[in-house]
A and B are shown apart, each in its own frame.
Chain A
Amino acid sequence: MRWKTADFAGWGRALSARFDVARPERRRALDALLSEGLVPAMGMRRSYGDAALNAGGRAVEMTRLDRMIGFDPATGELEAEAGVQIGQLAQVFAPKGWLPPVMPGTGFATLGGCIAQDVHGKNHHHAGSFCQHVTSIRLRTAAGEVEVTPEGTPDLFRATAGGLGQTGVILSARIRMMPCKGDVMIVTERRIDDWDEHIAMLDASRATYTVGWIDATATGSGLGRGILEEGETGSGLVPRRVKFRKVPFDAPRFALSAPVVRAFNQLYWRRVPESGRTVVKPIGDFFFPLDKIHDWNRLYGKRGFHQFQCVVPLAAAGELRAMLESIAGSGLASPLAVLKRMGPGGAGHLSFPMEGYTLAVDFPNRAGARDLIARLIERARGAGGRIYFAKDSLARADDIPAMYPELAAWRAASSDADPQGTLATDLVRRLKLRGAA
């Protein structure tokens, strides 16, 4: 197997590393490679920070092991290789009346990546996290290939779900798909004037899929204003998805400067009439709005960007409001900001979701933004919340134990599965997740 030595970056492009990557196209090639020793696996590198990086080491890219292996229409159970992309599953199965039970914000995320980050979607308040729908994982551990199930091997399952790939290489998995009405979304959009209304509407929403876009530049009485989007699946005729576009070069710095973002957000907010509206969209447009613009991360220029995402308990909504106030006052936020109410669901020791409110905001990679994010991480921790490993690129090791109370249990299970620590990644080392070493 040939190794490609190159610089790889997380989606945010603020962190990058040089290492060797192999990309087997068949199981046989993967098996041969892993028989020489385990290496961390990576998918489409849609994690924003360093979850998929392994500076100076090796990694195996799983994107070509992406076959759907079996589907049982009686139970909705699908088996697929780890490299298959969630958007592909949605595209193939929505016309048949099924959807992946949980879909993250990009359809490019792989099945393996969704397990390793125990991702959540716009239906988290009903459906819980991704791994709560996983019935079985084929995992290549240091001891060989094992089948990991929630009932049969609960310890290893809890360490693998959201386990950042530290228990082994995820080869394939079975998930329970969710019935849907068809391959379109019926989306109701409503304007929200301020923070209190935003929280109240998220609390009151009974829709299957709910998310709030937030104008993270609005201050004063407009703080927390945004758009509530509620979606249900439906069937009927809509125009086919529009053509993909691509960002051909790194944007200059002024592209996302404060006045530009403020103006954009103003227009984006006013786009929805005051009385609200209901629109019909292709599935992909609702779940993966940014996937239409390939390489949109280049909009942030060469230096990249950071995403801050935290969740705080329901009772700490006031603290989250204060955090938004400091974000809005900083003039550093980008148009990409999301507020959502989460349910309690999570399947693993290191799963991000907890019952509460989650806020996600993008910032260009500048010193002021890094300082601000450091303070926000501190406050999330103080509020009894946590940050999301799929997004993080700036947290410190000291921040983590308080945020993730099951860290010790996870550490023990991952050491059992990978005693040599050969699966450690830049993220794991930066946050000392596997231990002090």
Chain B
Amino acid sequence: MNRTWIILGATSSMARAFARQVASQGAGVLLAGRDGEDLAALAADCALRGARLAEAVAFDARDPAGFAAIVDRAGLEEGEINAAVFVGSMPAQADIDADPGLIDGTVTDSFTGPARFLHLLAPVIEERGMGSIVGVGSVAGDRGRLGNYVYGAAKAGFHTYLSGLRNRLTRAGGHVVTVKPGFVDTAMTWGLPGMFLVASPEKVAADILRAVERRRNVIYTPVFWTLIMLIIRHIPEPVFKKMKI
């Protein structure tokens, strides 16, 4: 089966690990992001690891004008077209409190930008009757927390969007996996206080790939976050609102 993965936000370390894993299985990768130089290096790396095709493509979540070109490029490939969304931004909550204007960008990066992109891709998947979408959300989207509730709200919106998209694409033979990572050892968490049980990007990428193969709907990764979030989701709001977690 000829597989192609569009990887949005391919410069992030989780996306890089994922791109390498699908590349070593011989899939094609279209590496989408803003830092062209970095994407070119990753494309070369993926090609050496066995990717059938490895190209850098320009993608900015805040510039939807460029989305169609990526979908069109992917459409030139035969077989299964998949997409994995790793984009998102998490400004410090204090910065947002000082400048509420940052909310728009956070929501665009983490939710509406990727949603608009996936809306262009969905018809391709429906038409071909196959294809998987991986949407990387966050455990932060499950509950609004004092420390990052704008980012959390954007991810929550994205989760709900993915749920609906899954409902739509399932009918046509496609599939959508919602991924909610806990703490991952990336530039976003490097040096932050209070990190525990931090997973490597490679481990998370392997979990995602397995979820795609098994057509899972929603996964927490690493898996113990399923339990942690089960508890957190069930804390009654009157109690939760007084907690600082």
The contact size tier of chain A is: 20 to 34
The answer, yes or no, to whether A249 is at the interface (CB within 8 Å) is no
State which of A27, A64, A69 has its C-beta within 8 Å of the C-beta of B44: A69
Q: Which of B2-39 contact A (CB under 8 A)?
A: 11-13, 16, 24, 35, 37-38
| Docked CA distance A27–B192 (Å) | 22
Contacts of B192 in A (CB 8 A): 2
> How many Å from the CB of B25 to the closest CB on chain A?
13
Given A2-B191, A3-B191, A4-B191; A26-B11 close (CB under 8 Å):
yes
| Docked CA distance A70–B41 (Å) | 9
Given A4-B190, A25-B187, A26-B35; A67-B44 close (CB under 8 Å):
yes
CB–CB B42/A67 < 8 A:
yes
CB–CB A28/B35 < 8 A:
yes
Contacts of A5 in B (CB 8 A): 191
The contact size tier of chain B is: 10 to 19
CB < 8 Å A-B pair total = 48
> How many Å from the CB of B148 to the closest CB on chain A?
16
The answer, yes or no, to whether A426 is at the interface (CB within 8 Å) is no
State the main secondary structure of chain A at its contact with B.
mixed
CB–CB B48/A71 < 8 A:
yes
Contacts of A2 in B (CB 8 A): 187, 190-192
The answer, yes or no, to whether A68 is at the interface (CB within 8 Å) is yes
CB–CB B48/A68 < 8 A:
yes
Contacts of B44 in A (CB 8 A): 67-70
Most buried by A among B49, B186, B187: B187
Contacts of B49 in A (CB 8 A): 68, 92
Closest to A81 in B: B41
| Docked CA distance A26–B41 (Å) | 10
State which of A22, A26, A29, A69 has its C-beta within 8 Å of the C-beta of B45: A69
Closest to B39 in A: A26
Closest to A61 in B: B190
| Docked CA distance A5–B191 (Å) | 7
What mask results when residues 18 to 33 of chain A are scored 1 for a CB within 8 Å of chain B, else 0?
A: 0000111111110000
Task: Give 30 pairs: A residue, B residue, CB < 8 Å, sorted on A.
Answer: A2-B190, A2-B191, A4-B190, A4-B191, A23-B187, A24-B187, A25-B11, A25-B13, A25-B186, A25-B187, A26-B11, A26-B35, A26-B38, A27-B37, A27-B38, A28-B37, A28-B38, A29-B187, A64-B13, A64-B187, A67-B42, A67-B44, A68-B44, A68-B45, A68-B49, A69-B41, A69-B44, A69-B45, A70-B48, A81-B41
| 6 interchain residue pairs of minimum CB distance | A4-B191, A67-B45, A2-B191, A67-B41, A26-B38, A68-B48
In the complex, besides A3-B191, A25-B16, 10 extra interface pairs with C-beta distance below 8 angstroms are A22-B190, A25-B187, A27-B37, A28-B35, A67-B41, A68-B45, A68-B49, A69-B41, A70-B48, A92-B24
